[in-house]
Structures are given as structure tokens and as C-alpha cells.
Structure 1
Amino acid sequence: MPKDDSTPESSTLKPSPLHPTYSVTNIQTKIRTLDGTKVTFSSWVKLFRLHVVAYKVLNHVDGTPAPVSPAADVELWQELDALVLQWIYSTVADDLLTRILHTKTTTYATWSKLEKIFLRNKKARAATLETKFCNLTLTACSSVEDYCQRLTELSNQLADVDQPVSESRLVLQLVRGLPEE
């Protein structure tokens, strides 16, 4: 005898699909560690934003308010927020981690705190970086490669505080920092 499709035994509940965020196992393979020197804040933000868009959680870093109901939506939001917050904590240098690590916080609050750390006092930070850039010489470095790398890092950091260094200025500074011999 054929089964009647309307009976409770034959009706099956479709499992809800797993959110893509749960598939991330090692965020460090996708986003480099933000240290403010080798990986600048603007570079880290670009990588992080690509990741949160791809995994459908941009709303946790862009200030979108959390849902207030139904309870299932609130619970999912909190779980995803905790995961994205773990991504941030896993991709910042230890000295930054101690400055942003809090027990009762949200991803957006932590994201905003990082922005403040890197983007406040741009003028003072730019002045300090400019002095380091202008005064760096080959004799202060272990090799020519190290000298070039440090100049590039300072140039990137200056760009982060809205003081980009042109390629020609970078080359001039490179030559100026070489010893006479």
C-alpha cells in the first residue's frame, strides 16, 4: 500500500543550513596579524572586510544593530558576533590584544576601538612617522634589504595617517640615507 504523503511520518523537516562563518577553522591563514608596522591598519581592514563580506557577517563590523526578536535571531547574532570577535582577537598582535580584550563587548565596539587606536591623533602620529622616515639611514639597519623594508613600512604607515609618500620621494629618501662611500 503506498504511503500518503500527508501523514506525519512522511513529512520531514529540512535542516537549516549551517552559516558559512562556522566553516572558518584558522583565520590566520586568511588575514595577517595586525601589528601596525609590517601589516598596517588599512591593509588589515581591507583583508578583514573581504573576509566578513565573503562569510556574510559584515553587519557585525559596520554598526548594524543586533536584532531584538525573535529569540532565535538574537541567539544566532550573538553566536556569530562572538565568532567574528574571535577573528579580530586572533589577527591582532599581542600588544594590541591587551588593549582591546574585554569580556563583555561586541565585535563592533572592538572594531571601533581599533579604529580609534590607529586613527586618532593622525597629525601627531604623522609627524612622528615623518621624522623616522626622514632620519632613517642604512647605517641604522642590518642590511640594504632591511633598510628598504623599513622605508617601505614607514611609507605604508604614513599612508595610513593620510600622508602618502610618492614613489619618487621614497627613492630620494632611499638614496639620501646611503653612506657617502
Structure 2
Amino acid sequence: MGDQTDQANKPLHPLYTVTDITRKVRVLDGLKVSYSSWVKLFQLHAQGYKVMNHINGIRAPAKEDPTYASWSEIDAIILQWIYGTLLDDLLVRVLDTNHTALDAWSRVREIFLNNKGARAAALEHEFNNLTLRSMPSLESYCQKLKDLGDQLNDVDHPVGDQRLVLQLVRGLPIEYDTFGAYINQSLPSWETACSMLQLEYQR
């Protein structure tokens, strides 16, 4: 009786207040949402909802431990969070009935961080050869460059603002030469360069 009363009076874990994780963590596709961005968002919410211990490598309690049942229930919900924020193509590579949240978290990491050299080479080629003319719009051109930069960051090939801006100019057609020369000389931030390019495009 006492145990039941203690359980009833126990405050609800913050995790149970989450109704739709995709409103808080965007779906990972490896393109528009990079692995590093997904990790940052997921960890932010895991920390906020006090469940970081389920994905940071801390060992689970033994099944004989009195806290195991509660831990297992919470872990299953975090596992649902992970599965619910993966694109279908990724989900089928991660889904496993015997996984803990940490197992799934580690599997996603392996998918994105294994074979870094080959992935980096392919991404570098695409990044260096992207042009405005190859994209349907100026906005998609800027976004694609940024997405490729984020993906290169994921495989330990950092792309900073300066390189993004230089590549932005490099991919412009000849009619932007005067504008490009100014950008190369002043080297503004990425956001500023994109805004300036949008104004030049409209003009």
C-alpha cells in the first residue's frame, strides 16, 4: 500500500509531456537536415527533458534493479523519438526490436560518420562544382551550398563562413563578376552575402 502511495505521489517525468517530437526535433534526412543539426536539436531536448543519460553512454540499470522498469519505459519512449525523427530510408537501417535508445543513437552515428573519407570526397566535389545556373532558384542555390557545408562539417571537413562565401561567388555566372569582386574583397558573413546577392539579383 505504501509503495502504491509513493508511486502515485511521484511527480510525472517531464518526458511524458512531449506529444509530438517532430515539432521539436526536425526529421533527419542527411540533406536539408544534417546529422550535426539533428544531434544538436535532439541533445537539446534530451537535456531539457532530463533523459540525456539514455543517449550519452551511461549504462542501463540491471534488470533486477528496482528502477529498471521505469528506466525501460522511458527508454522506449526515447527510442520512439529517435525513430520518429528519421527519414523512412534511414529508419529501415536503424529499426530493431531489441534496440535500446543508445543502440539506435549509436547506429545513426555509425551511418553518418563511417567511411568519412569517401563521403567527404563526394561532398567536396559537389560543393566545389555547384553553380547558380544548375539550381532552380537563387534561394535553392544558397540553401544547397549551406546544406553541403553542414554535411562536410559532419564528416570532419569544416566549412566556415569565409569558404561558404567564396564558393557562393565562385558559382555565380559572369554577369555577377563586379558583384563577386566586391564580395571577395569585403568577405561579409554568410547571411550578409546571401542578402546582398538577393538584392543584386532583384536589381
Using the size of structure 2 for normalisation, the TM-score is 0.79
Q: Match for residue 3 of structure 1? A: none
Matched-pair contact (CA < 8 Å) for 2:54–2:101: yes
Q: Which of 105, 118, 121 does residue 127 from structure 1 map onto? A: 121
Q: In the superposition, relative to structure 1, how do residues 69 and 167 fare at CA in structure 2: closer, same or farther (>3 Å)?
A: closer
Query: Higher helix share goes to which structure?
Result: 2
CA distance in 2, matches of 1:66, 1:102: 18
Q: What CA deviation, in whole Å up to 9, does each residue of 1:80-108 have, x standing for no partner?
A: 11000000011111111111011111111
Q: Match for residue 36 of structure 2? A: 42
CA distance in 2, matches of 1:44, 1:135: 26
Q: Which of 10, 13, 29 does residue 5 from structure 2 map onto? A: 13
Question: If you compute each CA radius of gyration, which structure gives the higher value, 1 or 2?
Answer: 1
Q: Secondary structure at the match of 1:34?
A: coil
Q: In the superposition, relative to structure 1, how do residues 20 and 172 fare at CA in structure 2: closer, same or farther (>3 Å)?
A: same
Q: In the superposition, relative to structure 1, how do residues 165 and 20 fare at CA in structure 2: closer, same or farther (>3 Å)?
A: same
CA distance in 1, matches of 2:126, 2:36: 20
Matched-pair contact (CA < 8 Å) for 2:152–2:158: yes
Residue 53 (str. 1) matches residue 52 (str. 2): no
Q: In the superposition, relative to structure 1, how do residues 172 and 69 fare at CA in structure 2: closer, same or farther (>3 Å)?
A: closer
**Matching of residues 49-88 of structure 1 within 5 Å:** 49-68=43-62, 72-88=66-82
Number of residue pairs matched by the alignment: 171
Q: What CA deviation, in whole Å up to 9, does each residue of 1:156-180 have, x standing for no partner?
A: 1111111112322222212221222
Identity %: 55
Q: Match for residue 16 of structure 2? A: 22
Q: Match for residue 4 of structure 1? A: none
Matched-pair contact (CA < 8 Å) for 2:120–2:157: yes
Q: Secondary structure at the match of 1:13?
A: helix
**Matching of residues 144-163 of structure 1 within 5 Å:** 144-163=138-157
Q: CA deviation at 1:138?
A: 1.3
**Structure 2 regions of 5+ residues with no counterpart?**
176-203
Using the size of structure 1 for normalisation, the TM-score is 0.88
**Structure 1 regions of 5+ residues with no counterpart?**
1-7
Aligned Cα RMSD in Å?
Answer: 1.8
Q: Secondary structure at the match of 1:63?
A: coil
CA distance in 2, matches of 1:142, 1:102: 39
